[in-house]
Structure 1
């Protein structure tokens, strides 16, 4: 399977031509999505990928012999159902396992833990170990309903209602709010009103608070249990250089629960074959419509003539003409790296330079010879227990613990107690390991500065950090460090260098409120267009932002092709 993935990435079905209808810079999942829709519309398309394999941050690589890692992104939920359906991705090989249970929070120095999944009654039993109030019937004091209802089910119902209302925004381009065009602004804002209208007055104020408040405040509204608040609240700071006590973290949580799989809201799954199999399925769809995908083709610059994109120049000097150019790179790379200074308006460049790419994330990919055995939920035998298939939240027992990690980070140091999301995809997908008993462990850790106070992220520093993280895990699962047979540490500078994500930011730019929707990547250019005619942004730096969604790729093509009736059938 993995030999097939690599073979597809390294060989092109056709020789690179001198001219195409569209050229796409970057073979990440959004670039591949754009290619699929363009090819489906009958356009000749070339995808140009810098690395030796396609997928961008959604790749599967054999880092330790016999162990295949989802090297950067690692779980699936946000991929838009419209993309799955319109590109027939299941037909093209996409397979996944929906996790249930889905979340496990062990408690340090305790026999207690919190296991959550799709079964509400089981969730209530788990929560009741910490708080009867959070799990059992209580009088509604947050929403306007007067009927008694359980706290956790009430929260789940509220989030489901919010997701139902907001999710359509993921599949639509943001409104063009152009000063002076009052009637158009009214029409565009009217679209947002019609989408959000089903929220109703009952949910309007809680929704506003969720969008603007610190996630710690939101969780305090709902629950009294520290580990429940922190478990749910970590989605508000994941990949975000912020404390749970900072404003805007509520929206980051919403972004992470807005997805789902097979109609089940908020569910996450493991892709069989790793996240590279998502990119492979999209590539298969693109190639089935005639798109050409090339690896080891680094783009040096975008060719501009008379204010219009005319193609690209490769690092080897080859020039390729195109009527349209789509960039899957970050806004900074696209506008400040691939274009000359005089090719963009000065005020536009200034706004691009101000985009925040700060990232607190270090990814550690670990090969182990046995599963972690947690003190709080011991298991017998070599096979995985239900909690091994979940996202395992380590050092996530309280909001204060998360906050203390941010304080270390702001002082130029990694967190003394890093927030760790551990996933073990091999607990359900045995295609990614070769031997019985072996497992792939993926650690998404924060908070780690791009530039450490104590020196650069050299090999010795990365080794020290890995040992620090492993020792933290040992406090919950004492056998972990002894089980490690190999690992890779990817701090922010390495994430930037390898995957082309500026600042190591996995979202192509912070998901703060000032960099979302009609301000993503900057105001007046949130609709995938740029100051350069026929140059479009199709990566996560555009709406709706980060995560493996496929939405920026789809919407960029929709914007480029316009409302012509002959293209309506591809969407």
Structure 2
């Protein structure tokens, strides 16, 4: 195997593979090094049990950039989206339920069961979010400028964004600022009166964050549900046929078709630096590969603290990296089922529309706040917030005939527990989550064939994400755009010449978008 390349990419997450594909398209000799025996990072499909193809980590998609799908011809390599409609089902303790989705008339009728006022307000709320998204979404595929530099490109980018913001008009601009900086709860309380609707929407604001909807910064995620697309339809989320790993595998095939080399079971132990410039990497087994460009898909802590000597980095930069917030309070439980959950609120046998989208267990906003309060003091939530999806409702290739896979995304449960350990609490917490779902779907526990539980430390170990943080660092305003991963280095470059970053630690952050990898490739190609 050759040891000299034009570019070496550390980690075969979907962003790293995207960067590899674009560099290979440009004629670069590219090597991707992946420590595991599977490609995709957190965007993977694994056969955990015979016949069950599980999206172990990420589980739904909408945000993968259309440009990447087109440029890399991903559909040619098996990428196919299955739109979810309805997209949301929330049962309540009083036996009622709320179903929502892209069918606007159905959604209005469902909301009207709880409040006619809210049913009238909801389309206006969505229109407000769409206006904000129209302004923000194009920024995802742009390199965030450094507002403190004197480079003309940065100054022009800041000015262009400012004029675009001004063009929103006073009212929409005010909404945009609140969404970027504010808390979700006051926004929802201002727009709606029904706690059932507010609780359902609020789950979108906190997913993956160690924060309740009353905390500043949680509003930012609200507009994501109207952003992105599924099969060309704006704001629709879907499952990926064959599981989320199909995304990573299709990008990998596109990269390989252009000549990229991908090597699994190849854990990088050190980034090699000489004279202030990256010159290659050394694997844990001592094997060395050389290249004038090294690109890390890992988070900033792994890249700069674990894989580099402190002497190769400016002390101030390293201090900023060490200050990045990797707090996590999410547990992922993957479950094999003999039958779908049958909810008391919507009785029936087999798969129904309630199983197509996300099944929420979250009766009101206070429920989320109390779950957060437990985690804040080092305890797994006594009454956890559950987001459950069952991709087998739309994709029967994922499990044996008649069987199903349930993905349970749970909040809140902190990385660091007070007075106990995850080895002691892991199964007890999973049991509590099962008890909670069973209160709404009494057949659930009896239908469980098997399960795998990932607490935050398990996520860190399995997927190499510091603290189990699925976003490779907090997504608060102080850690976004020009300040991601740290101020002054939002352009995918680092203090070391020839060393770049391309993962979710960079702008625009977490989620299966591919934008970080796309943007990084563009900047690397600019440098030549």
Q: TM-score, normalised by structure 1?
A: 0.91
How do 1:75-94 and structure 2 match up within 5 A? 75-94=60-79
Q: TM-score, normalised by structure 2?
A: 0.98
User: How big is the shift at 1:415?
Assistant: 0.7
How do 1:114-513 and structure 2 match up within 5 A? 114-135=98-119, 150-179=120-149, 181=150, 185-255=154-224, 257-380=226-349, 382=350, 384-394=351-361, 396-434=362-400, 436-458=401-423, 460-513=424-477
Task: State the match for 2:97 in structure 1.
Answer: 113
Alpha-carbon displacement from aligned partner over 1:367-410 (angstroms, at most 9, x marks no partner): 01011000111113x3x10110110111x221111101011101
* Partner secondary structure for residue 431 of structure 2: helix
| Distance change in 2, residues 1:530/1:547 (3 Å) | same
User: How big is the shift at 1:188?
Assistant: 2.4
* Partner secondary structure for residue 440 of structure 2: coil
Deviating beyond 4 angstroms after TM superposition, the runs of 4 or more aligned structure 1 residues are 182-185
Contact 1:166 1:195 in 2 (8 A): no
1: CA distance, partners of 2:153 / 2:345: 58
2: CA distance, partners of 1:309 / 1:256: 39
User: How big is the shift at 1:153?
Assistant: 0.8
User: How big is the shift at 1:28?
Assistant: 0.7
Contact 2:81 2:230 in 1 (8 A): no
Aligned-CA RMSD value: 1.3
Alpha-carbon displacement from aligned partner over 1:8-40 (angstroms, at most 9, x marks no partner): xxxxxxxx3211000000011011001000000
Contact 1:236 1:253 in 2 (8 A): yes
* Partner secondary structure for residue 239 of structure 1: coil
Contact 1:78 1:256 in 2 (8 A): no
2: CA distance, partners of 1:421 / 1:303: 42
Task: State the match for 2:504 in structure 1.
Answer: 540
| Distance change in 2, residues 1:563/1:350 (3 Å) | closer
2: CA distance, partners of 1:538 / 1:185: 19
1: CA distance, partners of 2:37 / 2:224: 31
Alpha-carbon displacement from aligned partner over 1:38-97 (angstroms, at most 9, x marks no partner): 000000001000001111101111112221110000001111111111111112210110
- Structure 1's unaligned 5+ residue stretches are 1-15, 136-149, 565-571
> Is 2:36 the counterpart of 1:51?
yes
> Is 2:526 the counterpart of 1:562?
yes
* Partner secondary structure for residue 522 of structure 1: coil
Contact 2:92 2:345 in 1 (8 A): yes
2: CA distance, partners of 1:339 / 1:362: 30
1: CA distance, partners of 2:318 / 2:227: 32
* Partner secondary structure for residue 354 of structure 2: helix
- Structure 2's unaligned 5+ residue stretches are none
Task: State the match for 2:45 in structure 1.
Answer: 60
* Partner secondary structure for residue 430 of structure 1: coil
| Distance change in 2, residues 1:256/1:24 (3 Å) | farther
